[in-house]
Amino acid sequence: MEHIHHAEHAKHTRNSKGFWSDRSAWHKSAVHTLNCLLGCSIGDFGMIIFLQVYYPGTPMMLQMILAVIAGLLTSLALETSILRFKLHMPWKQAFRMALSMSMISIVGMEIVMNLTDFMITGGQAQLSSFSYWLAFLPSALAGFLAPLPYNYYQIKKYNKGHHH
């Protein structure tokens, strides 16, 4: 009976306003999400610039897929490095934790960022255009906001985050 009561209380707490009002968890979520955003942006833009400079005829859909993959990889590398050096975890453990805690967040971020960028620029990466780089701001904001509630939920649910 005790176990059922505890499960009901936990479910009620997750669904109540109080669950979503933990400033410390929001702060941890924001830091984690910004780290993911930085990692994703490095890979995304790096791949887009590489393709535009060396393979300008690459189809847009392939560019987007490769940019998402590059963003995932650089974000995982950044997250793994933060866990390794900030929390002094062994590389293997840091990678596993980054992979398990970040994958849904990173994939969501990447998709939202790329879709937002595509809606603004029409998929035309004109590296010399100021408006192309200006499109990064709403894309980055959308990419930041999309996984933020998920990251908050994960931190509250497991009472842990990457960056304590």
pLDDT digits (tens, 9 = 90+) for 24-71: 999 989 998 999 999 999 998 899 889 988 999 999 889 889 998 999
The amino acid at 130: F
Mean pLDDT of 133-142: 91
pLDDT of residue 163: 44
Angle between helices 148-158 and 23-54 in degrees, nearest 10: 130
The domains of the chain are located at 23-158
- For 129, the token pair is 């255009």
Q: How many Cβ atoms from other residues are within 10 Å of residue 113's Cβ?
A: 26
Q: What is the mean pLDDT of the chain?
A: 84
State whether the Cα torsion 32-34-150-114 is positive or negative: negative
| Residues 6+ away with beta carbon under 8 Å from 38 | 75, 78
pLDDT of residue 159: 66
The amino acid at 126: Q
Task: Please tell me the total number of residues recorded for the chain in this structure.
Answer: 164
Element (H, E) at 1: none
